Chain A
């Protein structure tokens, strides 16, 4: 038999652990990875070029489709950049709503991540726990925007509309008994804030349950501890942000260091790792779930006490209400101009970034004064993380590649854009 020193394995593009469409060319020596060459771009939709051909507001929907598990955070960065360019600040209530939904989005993202990561590494149950909770949060998305995922809820100047007074309820059907139905609708009797508050207390129990399943689990630790160790210096060199950077012990969180919206009024802790391995990053993300709940609770209590507008009244940027439009000529003109042409921000260049669940998500807009961005560049955290794949996987076993993919928290919508 011929002596085979090294061979190449094609991992993906259709592979459940590839988290979407990644073609990973692995040069193996036995079971040890010598070189990993990710071929990305299979989901490239030229979002940035599409945005160049549309008025600013029409691209908000594209942002949801970038990192399609943390939808509103992407919108947030884009909308912040536009607001910076226009020089408008959303009303306080809108800022609180945005912060609340950013954190809801963080929970959504981390839940999908823990579900998929667990599944990759062999823990099936976590996936089911996580998705059960995700469903409730998606109901919040739906209640507020009408869409379960691609919300297009944040707009320059605020949010599309105020929180609904009632939470949508399950309807009776022949497959549900009255008793069951009542039980399912128990949390949905009040308004949306009641529902979110109820979710928060229930969810902390779920986080503990997930941790019980994993944190001290022998198999989980065997798969994660000491895999893909990144030193703080390397993490900075490689352009890591978010939990990937904090896992290596660098305390860097834009919510604290460069507070946007009302994060400076929020109380929360930033978990930081010590070893920089997959297990640390797991612990950090689990703690972030709890911290997000903390922030959401603060937002809920503020939103309960304070009413007010959720959109600025400048009709050069934000459309007037339907009622105004029906009996005021000026409003009708504003409405028409906004939806056929949009607004023209001044010429200039801005960069706005937020702490998305995966790291720093930024939007860089070059404007030449037209109603469309001249150039839009999106800084996706996953792109930098994916680029480090070769360095992280080198010297590890083939099975660890799956763990590393999980810990990177990759979503190809944002990597490929």
Chain B
């Protein structure tokens, strides 16, 4: 039977000690954060320690935190502008659009922009752990490859590189994996437009497929809204009558 998440966190803390930069227990899941320079050592210990034995790396998820917490629709006060303020706005989803949409520089979450999130599983002890590691440099995010520890990291790191441009030092074959041959950019970054930068079509006169800048405009159908719904944060507060 699996142990509780608090017990697991205790064990992880006891094992890694100083290497754990931050930790959280929420939703019955345990998450720790390690600094990029400690990543490899921490991962090695997590796999080999008798008390944990995370012998499987299930997944590596790249995350771009550049637009974290930004919304397109303010809810604090009433306004007389309508739906269009969400649709035409120049914010999340269209953050720092490049190419034909002009350039808006990404300044949010500096040095905490790109992260790789590792999902570990211990089959022997029936444990799960999430390890997050932020890359230090936004312009050239780089982390150590964990391929020597888990063979399954191979394609997962290639994917994170392809979609987010996170470089994995020590990876023997860091090629693009999901995008097209000759693709430019890292499509899952928040400053990459959803509809892309180029479109392809067959040109009859040239007799080949040509790439052109996209002709459609980015459009958001449902604006992004963040509501401070306190009913989740504090169940007792939800019982009280709302004022105003």
Interface set, chain A 297-316, CB cutoff 8 A to B: 316
Q: Interface size on A (CB < 8 Å)?
A: 60
Interface residues of A in 205-230 (CB under 8 A from B): none
A49-B187, A237-B55, A340-B222 given; A350·B123 CB < 8 A = no
Which of B55, B58, B93, B179 meets A379, CB within 8 Å?
B58
Check A102 for interface membership: any CB of B closer than 8 A.
Answer: no
* A360 CB contacts on chain B under 8 angstroms: 58
Contact B123 A252 (CB under 8 A): yes
Q: Give Cα distance in the complex from A238 to B58, angstroms.
A: 9
**CB distance A346 to B29 under 8 Å?**
no
Q: Any chain B CB within 8 A of the CB of A258?
A: yes
Q: State whether B59 touches A54 (Cβ < 8 A).
A: no
Are B61 and A375 within 8 A (Cβ)?
yes
Instruction: Tell me, in angstroms, the Cα distance from A320 to B119 when the chains sit together.
Output: 37
B-facing mask of A85-110, CB < 8 A → 1, else 0?
11100000000000000000000000
A44/B55 contact (C-beta < 8 A), A52-B93, A236-B123, A351-B130 known: no
Pair B117/A364 contact, Cβ less than 8 Å: yes
A375 to B177, CA, bound (A): 20
Q: How far is the CB of A228 from chain B (nearest CB, A)?
A: 15
Contact segment of A142-150, A153-161, A366-374: A366-374
Instruction: Assess whether B119 is in contact with A349, with CB atoms less than 8 Å apart.
Output: no
The answer to whether residues A350 and B177 also contact, given A55-B222, A239-B152, A371-B224 and a CB cut-off of 8 A, is no
Q: Does A377 contact B (CB under 8 A)?
A: yes
User: Are the C-beta atoms of B194 and A50 separated by less than 8 Å?
Assistant: yes
Binding site of B, secondary structure by majority: helix, strand, loop or mixed?
A: loop
B31 at interface (Cβ–Cβ under 8 A)?
Answer: yes
Query: When the two chains form their complex, are residues B194 and A49 in contact, meaning their CB atoms are under 8 A apart?
Result: yes
Instruction: Give the residue of B2, B61, B68, B221 whose beta carbon is less than 8 angstroms from that of A364.
Output: B61
Task: Answer yes or no: B233 CB below 8 A from chain A CBs.
Answer: yes
Residues of B within 8 A of A30 (CB): none
Q: Is the CB of B69 within 8 A of A239?
A: no
B126 within 8 A of A: yes
Q: In the bound complex, do residue A416 and residue B220 qualify as a contact, i.e. CB atoms below 8 Å apart?
A: no
Q: How far does the Cβ of B117 sit from chain A's closest Cβ, in whole Å? A: 7
Q: State which of A40, A50, A362, A366 has its C-beta within 8 Å of the C-beta of B58.
A: A362
In the complex, what residue of chain A is closest to B126 when comparing beta carbons? A257
Closest to A417 in B: B178
> Which residues of B185-229 have CB atoms within 8 Å of chain A's CB atoms?
187-188, 194, 220-222, 224-229
Q: Please provide the chain A residues from 270 to 322 with a CB less than 8 Å away from any CB of chain B in the complex.
A: 316
How does the 8 Å CB contact mask read for B122-151 relative to A, with 1 for contact and 0 for none?
Answer: 010010101000000000000000000011
17 intermolecular pairs with C-beta atoms under 8 Å apart:
A48-B188, A53-B220, A239-B156, A241-B58, A252-B123, A257-B126, A342-B222, A344-B225, A344-B229, A351-B29, A364-B117, A366-B63, A368-B226, A375-B63, A377-B61, A384-B58, A386-B155
Q: A58-B222, A236-B56, A348-B26 are in contact. List 9 more A-B contacts (CB 8 A).
A: A84-B27, A350-B27, A351-B128, A362-B119, A364-B117, A371-B224, A374-B67, A387-B152, A387-B155
List the 4 shortest-distance A-B pairs measured between CB atoms, nearest first: A239-B152, A377-B61, A41-B178, A387-B155
